[in-house]
Amino acid sequence: MIRKLLDSIHPMFAKGGKFEKLYPLYEAQDTFLYTPGEVTEGSTHVRDSLDLKRMMTMVIIALGPCIFFALYNTGWQSNKIISEAIAASKAASADTPTSFIQDEGENTTSDGGPEAIDDSGTDTANTAATPEVFKPEGWRYTVMDWLGVDYTQATTFYGDLFSTRIIGCMIHGLLFFLPVYIVCMAVGGTCELIFSIIRGHEINEGFLVTGMLFPLTLPPSIPLWEVGLGIAFGVIIGKEIFGGTGMNFLNIALTARAFLYFSHAPEMSGMKVWTGVDGYSGATSLGAWAEEGAAGMNSLSGSVSIGSGKQAEVIAESIPNSLSWFNAFIGNMHGSMGETSTFACLLGAVILIGAGIGSWRIMASIVAGMAIFSVLLNVISTSFGAENVPAMFSMGPQWHLVLGGFGFGTVFMATDPVSASMTNKGKYIYGFLIGFMTVLVRCVNPAFPEGIMLAILFANVFAPLIDFFVVQANVKRRMAYSAT
């Protein structure tokens, strides 16, 4: 039925039709729902079962584990903070003495005289403000109340993961992720459509991957207007001005994220953006290590306050967030929605490598570059004394692997076939450069404990140059061989 409908309206969008200019919009719907009707017939064409649509579909499938952990972890971390805040506010309320109210409507001072009271008869001089029980506000909690979802309790990360409470956590996380994803697809898709109409070419399926990658790199509390601004910058400045799909030399999703990081830093960094609960503040794992070294993983904590500025009141403090290596590997920590779980990224890597889409050379060389340089810094830290070098020098490669966005960037960002190196030797150099630069930025630059984003963008810039020298070296080698 849908096929017949699309075929019936095709003439209106074909060349010479009434809506010829909107053909990219029609073609996008047709290609998304069905396989293309045109196939190569000439013997000179190379046939490959892995077309662009199938490749992008496999990338989305590989992102599945990261999406799952994005929803669950975002929801569970929020539930945990809310439950801690409610418990702390109830305890504070129970410890507050009740107001002293006289039946006669007046109080007596030390000299026996009357003391002014308010109209209700409440002693305004001795009344202590009773703390209110914490209650999160916003449309998300209205929706969850309507659905009957309990967001005020959390047991343990793994206990809720393998129980029926996982549903509530997933719904809570979905209410943070879904609006970001919708805005990203709407704004970015509109930009793609406009340029496709102007240039008269088809809408490329590649944006489906960009539109999924970008939301996964964002904190849950990101304002939606910034999401739209960021993806518009990434699509227009990062891709379209260079000619569109296949012409960009920078990763589009990381270009959008870097733009937001430097132009709207308060919403993309710091201690207050990594959990969806308003008023929560807590150091990130990388930030804590930069301040205290390995001991910072055991002393991680956060607090919840209500109000803002001078009116802010802390209602729950020292909420424990201590982090073990295994929890960091699984993804039980605060951070960007889809980047916390290295385990989920490894599952995605298996899918991409198995399908022949992701380059294992790039992934392996990134890990190698990170490991070699981090071990070198460990040796420097041990030789000169931890107190004489930055605390990040003491971070071992096993921690670099699981903290921040290293796993996500290695598997899904650095392997972008357009912006990465194309030659096999070049992939090794390109990946090693990313691993090296990630540790360099994390450990040497105290203002920016996360480094994978800048490292990948830096390597993107040098990827064409790397391939050029690799090709030239091959040409010289073959010329020398043929001369003999």
pLDDT digits (tens, 9 = 90+) for 41-84: 666 556 566 666 778 889 999 999 999 999 999 999 999 999 88
Asked, for residue 41, whether it belongs to a domain, the answer is: no
Residue 177: what pLDDT? Answer: 96
Residue 256: what pLDDT? Answer: 95
Q: Which residue has the higher pLDDT, 136 or 348?
A: 348
Mean pLDDT of 344-362: 95
- Asked whether residue 399 carries a pLDDT value surpassing 70, the answer given is yes
Mean pLDDT of 309-328: 77
Mean pLDDT of 370-387: 93
Q: Which residue has the higher pLDDT, 478 or 314?
A: 478
Residue 104: what pLDDT? Answer: 43
Residue 197: what pLDDT? Answer: 83
Asked, for residue 122, whether it belongs to a domain, the answer is: no
- Kindly report, residue by residue over 200-237, the tens digit of the pLDDT: 777 777 788 999 999 999 999 899 999 999 999 999 99
Among 133-147, 397-411, 431-445, the least confident range: 133-147
Domain containing 460 equals: 358-470
- Asked whether residue 251 carries a pLDDT value surpassing 60, the answer given is yes
Asked, for residue 84, whether it belongs to a domain, the answer is: no
Residue 40: what pLDDT? Answer: 62
Residue 121: what pLDDT? Answer: 46
Residue 64: what pLDDT? Answer: 96
Residue 26: what pLDDT? Answer: 67
Cβ neighbours for 245, distance < 8 A, ≥ 6 positions apart:
204, 206, 239, 418
Among 41-45, 258-262, 426-430, the least confident range: 41-45
- Asked whether residue 98 carries a pLDDT value surpassing 60, the answer given is no
- Asked whether residue 456 carries a pLDDT value surpassing 90, the answer given is yes
Relative to beta strand 313-320, strand 280-282 is unpaired
% of the chain at pLDDT higher than 90:
50
Confidence label for 105 from pLDDT (cuts 50, 70 and 90) = very low
Residue 181: what pLDDT? Answer: 96
- Asked whether residue 125 carries a pLDDT value surpassing 50, the answer given is no
Confidence label for 94 from pLDDT (cuts 50, 70 and 90) = low
Asked, for residue 33, whether it belongs to a domain, the answer is: no
Q: Which residue has the higher pLDDT, 290 or 423?
A: 423
Residue 442: what pLDDT? Answer: 92
Mean pLDDT of 355-384: 95
Residue 37: what pLDDT? Answer: 61
Number of structural domains the chain divides into = 1
Mean pLDDT of 357-371: 96
- Asked whether residue 101 carries a pLDDT value surpassing 70, the answer given is no
Confidence label for 124 from pLDDT (cuts 50, 70 and 90) = very low
- Asked whether residue 246 carries a pLDDT value surpassing 90, the answer given is no
Asked, for residue 373, whether it belongs to a domain, the answer is: yes
Q: Which residue has the higher pLDDT, 312 or 129?
A: 312
Asked, for residue 381, whether it belongs to a domain, the answer is: yes
Residue 60: what pLDDT? Answer: 92
Asked, for residue 399, whether it belongs to a domain, the answer is: yes
Residue 481: what pLDDT? Answer: 86
Among 22-26, 162-166, 330-334, the least confident range: 22-26
- Asked whether residue 334 carries a pLDDT value surpassing 70, the answer given is yes
Residue 193: what pLDDT? Answer: 85
Residue 54: what pLDDT? Answer: 77
Residue 271: what pLDDT? Answer: 76
- Asked whether residue 436 carries a pLDDT value surpassing 90, the answer given is yes
Mean pLDDT, the chain, whole residue set = 84
Asked, for residue 427, whether it belongs to a domain, the answer is: yes
Q: Which residue has the higher pLDDT, 152 or 171?
A: 171
Mean pLDDT of 5-22: 74
